[in-house]
Amino acid sequence: MTCAAYGKVGRVTDAPTLPDLVHPADSPDSPWWRDAVIYQIYPRSWSDSDGDGIGDLPGITARLPYLRDLGVDAVWLSPFYVSPMNDAGYDVADYRDIDPRFGTLHDAEVLIDTAHALGLKVLVDLVPNHTSSEHEWFRAALAAEPGSPERDRYIFRDGAGPHGDLPPNNWRSVFGGRGWSRVPDPDGTPGQWYLHIFDTTQPDVNWENEEVRAEYDDILRFWLDRGVDGFRVDVAHGLVKDQTFPDTTGSMHTAENAPGHRMPMWDQDGVHEIYRRWRRILDEYTVPGDPDSERILCAEAWVQPEEALARYVRPDEMHQAFNFEFLDTRWDPAGYRHVITESYRSNDAVGAPTTWVLSNHDVLRHATRLAVVQEGYRPNGIGADDPQPDPELGLRRARAATTMMLALPGGAYVYQGEELGLPEHTTMPDEWRQDPIFHRTKGTDEFALGRDGCRVPMAWAKDEPSLGFGPSAKTWLPQPEAYAALAVDQQDGVPGSTLSLYRDLLAYRRKHRFGHGALAWHELDGPETLAFTNTSGDGTRTVLCLTNFGDEPVSLPDGDVIISSGPLDDGRVPTDITVWLRLPTGHDR
Ligand code: NOJ
Ligand code: MG
């Protein structure tokens, strides 16, 4: 299988062999993070307290009870640090303070304490691959001479060619265009080039430099001391570069372009040493005998195959890694069967839980993506001139996919608004677009609309200005018309709504500790269905989860239907519906 960060994805599904027990039950007293459901908040777009059209920390704090009632265990906040916002905060100018648009450090402390009082853990985003070009370190590097300690915190090189006016190698930026930019020397003459795997305003940090390592140790401690329960680690596969900086022919969107051919900026062995070092720091914060006090690291690492990803979650490294192979799977039972089997096989081999995810702020929302019919691609944004995916089909499949995902043992991530079935904004006028991908690729053959369509402010109340996002009508990105009918107040307490479905799924999953269960493929599994059982560790409860991908309804064995992602057809499971069915006691699968 191949996989891509924000770009185009080719997908091959292999015919699987079906072992009986795919994954054994986890110990019932294992720590919280092994089966946690973690809700991703994109701070700019969740809740705006002051009416400036940008979500903020006081806005988030005020709405945390909504998440307790939804039934998740934790929140992960995308970056809220001081930033010029060239990449929506993934360009950090000060790691130890909050951007004034989002609030203050005090607001962050109140948020963390309020979440804890509600029984929710808090993960923050750590962005260690690059800083903003406005970070004091980068300013100092520009003011200093080539070869200085200030420059050595970044990756500066002399240019190629007789005049040094060609980039040091041919690396591209993930966001399109060159991966290097040239800067003037302090005396104003054309000088060295610096590496930026993302935007020009996101210079890559030099992880060969011990001063850099010590600085990020300290940043970890800064937030751990403020009570955060963990970090989602941005571009975790990118920190260490092949120090020979070779030219490369592979795509920047894939860590391994051909079996054994690893890209020189991705998934280098040296990254693991960094995560061992961080794990030791986090472990210092564990209160002996209290697994609930464990702090965690989750890798955002677009690497493949599954074995390579599992190296990030070996016992002395990170705790979790996002399962992007699952996210990138097409609506196809063979594909899901393959990725589920392989994910458990590789994670079980290192004793780590598998972490399931369907949406985030970098990809088409799954309520849209799963209806995209285009072959071989996950588009990077959809615009008004593109074929429009069928919203009903997308929502039906999204509900079925989530119902399947939340029956899987392990942890899971839910992206804000997916619990409402929010689709991607697929007709956003271009003048609103802010994603650097759109601006960097415009007019080139790498052209992509970018990720703004999945980052639109939340819909809380149908008849309020900005759909209840904030007290004014302002929103930093426009909300599509379809969001009004999907607002929280239209779904709250309504049987059959997507919000009610998520609440029911999460409540049942928590009560019966599905995240710790054992998984086996079930005899109803076939070319057009995906069927597995989740059995509690003590063997007293077995739930069958069945998704019908075929055209004809599928009959169920005896048992009690607990939850269904949509109405059944005379007791049978229609197309694109997932059902949880409790099998009678004594059923041995
Ligand atoms: C991954 C983040 O999720 C994405 O939003 C960001 O643009 C890149 N890393 C660069 O930090
Ligand atoms: Mg605001």
Is the pTM higher than 0.85? The answer reads yes
Ligand 1 neighbour 127 (Cβ under 6 A)? yes
CA atoms within 13 A of residue 400's CA, in its CB half-sphere: 29
List the beta strands (DSSP E) in 423-521. 518-521
Task: Determine how many CB atoms are found less than 10 A away from the CB of residue 285.
Answer: 16
Ligand 1 neighbour 3 (Cβ under 6 A)? no
Which active-site residues does the annotation give? 234, 284
Write the CB contacts of 103 (distance below 8 Å, at least 6 apart in sequence): 56, 57, 58, 80
Q: Look at residue 514 in the predicted model and tell me its pLDDT.
A: 94
Can you tell me whether residue 230 is helix, strand or coil? strand
Residue 413 to residues 40, 55, 323, 362, 538, Cα–Cα distance (Å):
7, 21, 10, 14, 26
Residue 399 alpha carbon to ligand 1 centre in Å = 26
* Nearest atom within ligand 1 for CA of residue 235: 9
* Whether 103 contacts 48, CB under 8 Å: no
**Nearest ligand to the CA atom of 199:** 1
| φ, ψ dihedrals at 548, nearest 5° | -100, 115
Residue nearest to atom 3 of ligand 1 (CA): 362
| Tokens representing residue 105 in the block | 């450090």
Q: Which of 77, 90, 92, 439 to mutate to test the pocket of ligand 1 (most atoms within 8 A of CB)?
A: 90
Residue 101 alpha carbon to ligand 2 centre in Å = 6
Cα separation, 230 vs 298, in Å, equals: 8
Q: Which of 80, 199, 231, 235 to mutate to test the pocket of ligand 1 (most atoms within 8 A of CB)?
A: 235
Q: Look at residue 271 in the predicted model and tell me its pLDDT.
A: 98
Q: Look at residue 12 in the predicted model and tell me its pLDDT.
A: 34
The parts of the chain modelled with pLDDT lower than 70 are: 1-19, 376-377, 586-589
pLDDT tens, 194-242? 999 999 999 999 999 999 999 999 999 999 999 999 999 999 999 999 9
The terminus-to-terminus CA distance of the chain in angstroms comes to 30
| Tokens representing residue 106 in the block | 């005090």
Cα separation, 567 vs 583, in Å, equals: 20
pLDDT tens, 372-425? 977 766 899 999 999 999 999 999 999 999 999 999 999 999 999 999 999 999
Residue 235 alpha carbon to ligand 1 centre in Å = 7
CA torsion sign, 521 to 525 to 530 to 532? negative
| Tokens representing residue 566 in the block | 């949509």
Q: Look at residue 221 in the predicted model and tell me its pLDDT.
A: 98
**Nearest ligand to the CA atom of 43:** 2
Residue nearest to atom 5 of ligand 1 (CA): 362
Ligand 1 neighbour 229 (Cβ under 6 A)? no
Residue 471 alpha carbon to ligand 2 centre in Å = 9
CA-wise closest residue to 426 among 492, 367, 356, 341: 367
The pairing of beta strand 37-41 with beta strand 74-77: parallel
Ligand 1 neighbour 546 (Cβ under 6 A)? no
* Nearest atom within ligand 1 for CA of residue 130: 11
Q: Which of 175, 196, 362 to mutate to test the pocket of ligand 1 (most atoms within 8 A of CB)?
A: 362
Cα separation, 25 vs 520, in Å, equals: 10
Ligand 1 neighbour 256 (Cβ under 6 A)? no
Cα separation, 189 vs 201, in Å, equals: 21
Q: Look at residue 28 in the predicted model and tell me its pLDDT.
A: 83
**Nearest ligand to the CA atom of 452:** 1
**Nearest ligand to the CA atom of 100:** 2
Ligand 1 neighbour 415 (Cβ under 6 A)? no
Task: Determine how many CB atoms are found less than 10 A away from the CB of residue 354.
Answer: 28
Ligand 1 neighbour 454 (Cβ under 6 A)? no
Ligand 1 neighbour 324 (Cβ under 6 A)? no
* Whether 359 contacts 538, CB under 8 Å: no
Ligand 1 neighbour 198 (Cβ under 6 A)? yes
Residue 88 alpha carbon to ligand 2 centre in Å = 14
Write the CB contacts of 587 (distance below 8 Å, at least 6 apart in sequence): 542, 559
Point out which residues pair with 178 in neighbouring strands. 172
* Nearest atom within ligand 1 for CA of residue 360: 3
Residue 428 alpha carbon to ligand 2 centre in Å = 22
Residue 100 alpha carbon to ligand 2 centre in Å = 9
Ligand 1 neighbour 362 (Cβ under 6 A)? yes
SS (H, E, C) 295-309: CEEEECCCCCCHHHH
Question: Dihedral, CA atoms, 312, 317, 322, 326, nearest 10 degrees?
Answer: 50
Ligand 1 neighbour 452 (Cβ under 6 A)? no
Residue 495 alpha carbon to ligand 1 centre in Å = 37
Residue type for 260, please? G
**Nearest ligand to the CA atom of 298:** 1
Q: Which of 77, 198, 438 to mutate to test the pocket of ligand 1 (most atoms within 8 A of CB)?
A: 198
Helices of type H across 187-270: 210-225
Residue 223 alpha carbon to ligand 2 centre in Å = 23
List the beta strands (DSSP E) in 63-120. 74-77, 81-82, 94-98
Residue burial 460-496, b: 16+ Cβ < 10 Å; e: rest:
bbeebebbbbbeeeebbbbbbebbeebbbbbbeeeee
Ligand 1 neighbour 87 (Cβ under 6 A)? yes
Ligand 1 neighbour 90 (Cβ under 6 A)? yes
